Amino acid sequence: MKLFFSLRTMAVCSLAAGLLAGLHAPSVGAVEQEITAKFVPDPANPLVNKFVNTTPQTGVCPNYISGTCARLGIFSLRVPGLQFKSTQPIPAGHTDPRQGATFSVPSSWRSVDVVHSRTGERETVEIRIAGIGGTWALARPPGVSAWTPPGGTRWREPWTRPPAPCTGLDINVAGTFFAFFFWLIPEGAGACGLVPTMDIPWFDHREVEYVYELRTPNPLGMSSGQYQGSLTYTAGPGGDFDMGDVMLPNDSVITLNFILDVQHSLKVEIPPGGNRIELLPQGGWQAWLNHGRKPVRLFRDQTFNLSSSSRFKMQLECQYPLGNTCALRDTASTDLVPLNTSVSLPGGLTDAAGQPVQRRPLQLDGSGTELFQPGFYVERKPGTLHFEVSREHVEQLLHPGVSKTYAGSVTVIWDSEV
């Protein structure tokens, strides 16, 4: 996107990109889900510059623990169609965890490259699976009593308070042969499982749900548009989602497709009449007209308001180029005089070296203004364009008793396509 300011015309536009979001059913032979996030600068919170997770949630968070999920920064998804079913009976009191209902997920952080659909720029997203749960069902008998301690009645307690390192959420939803459970799993934790007190002919994890944590890159350093990338997990013995040697999945691949949508703001507002610049000496023309004292310089500082959440560069275009800058031309001849143009940007915006931008020259080759970047969202903060004819060239302009007019167009470009 380019924003143009000219002594004659000025145009303002803003960036927008569509959002592709949602969760769709798995394709044959694999499970696919989309995780979407969006960044739009918020004028009410200019220092908060983060992606917002826009993935529609399903499962435990919206249904049972929305406040807990918001506090912990986790999000839940139900995996459509995925099931784990036992291939043989589960014996009571088994000593090998892999012969029963055990649950292991990719709880460590993993990195995903996301690529801009137009520019090919790469950024990194990180994700970890932070919990597992869903609905299970088993043969009746024994039904849910399979985990009842001898002489006891608290079958639910092992599912609401699982062994370390997992933690339960005290969700008790059950019938005689099914129940809903959910366990949170710390970063890098291993498997958690339960051992029944009665033999179980068959056991099904019929609806699989998980919660995840998400780390997104700094949107202020990204270009507007969409970034996409994918991460594939495996399911089954020895895989990322490993429920032991007895509980086998009906799909062995779970692919997460990430879509990050960046909708930057870049807007320049010039006050009415600010597109016409008249260069004057300090204090006006009276010293020259009355006493013949030539001014030190001719200048004009033109203020503007800038809103920016994106990187941008600035460029110069001229009606009358002269060297690496613009010129003003005598309307009665072909005489040219150099016009120096520079810019001062508001606080919060720096150059590529992290330095503030004060009276930075604007040149035709773009040198020195190739990259400006915000440290936070800058909302309608004042900047200044400086126009000046220096002293040595003022000598060329002014002659006693001679009236001349010098004019020319200068176009200043704010360009977010860096």
As given in the structure block, the two tokens for residue 346 are 């508001």
Report DSSP state, residue 97. Answer: G
Take residue 140 and report the two structure tokens written for it.
């009746």
Distance CA 315, CA 345 (A): 14
Give Cβ neighbours of residue 92 (< 8 Å, ≥ 6 apart): 146, 195, 196, 197, 198, 199, 200
Predicted confidence at residue 296, as pLDDT, reads 77
Which residues are registered as beta bridge partners of 410? 318
**Cα three-residue angle 170-175-179, rounded to 5 degrees:** 45
Cβ atoms of residues 381 and 348 within 8 Å: yes
pLDDT at residue 98 greater than cutoff 60: yes
pLDDT in tens, 196-216: 999 999 999 999 999 999 999
Helix spans in 133-221 (H): 157-160
Q: What is the pLDDT of residues 274-304, one digit of tens each?
A: 999 999 888 677 656 555 677 778 999 999 9
pLDDT at site 151: 62
Strand partners, 52: 38
**Cα radius of gyration rounded to whole Å, the chain:** 33
User: By three-state DSSP, how is residue 369 classified?
Assistant: coil
Question: Could you give the 3-state DSSP secondary structure of residue 70?
Answer: helix
Of the pLDDT bands very low, low, confident and very high (cuts 50, 70, 90), residue 28 is very low
Contacts of 5 (CB under 8 A, 6+ apart): 268, 270, 275, 304, 385, 411, 412, 413, 414
DSSP β-ladder status, 266-269 and 298-308: antiparallel
As separate numbers, helices (DSSP H) first and strands (DSSP E) second, the chain gives 5, 29
Q: pLDDT band at 134, cuts 50/70/90? A: very high
Cα separation, 370 vs 353, in Å, equals 11
Q: Give percent helix, percent strand, percent coil of the chain, each to the nearest 5.
A: 10, 40, 50
* pTM for the full predicted model: 0.85
Confidence tier at 153 by pLDDT (50, 70, 90): low
Q: Which of 158-162, 259-263, 287-291, 327-331 comes out lowest in average pLDDT?
A: 287-291
Inform me whether the pLDDT recorded for 337 exceeds 90. Answer: yes
Residue with tokens 């400086």: 386
pLDDT tens-digit readout, 52-96: 999 999 999 999 999 999 999 999 999 999 999 999 999 999 999
Question: Which domains, from first to last, does the chain contain?
Answer: 2-10+266-415 (2.60.40), 17-262 (no CATH)
159-204 residue pLDDT tens: 998 999 999 988 989 999 999 999 999 999 999 999 999 999 999 9
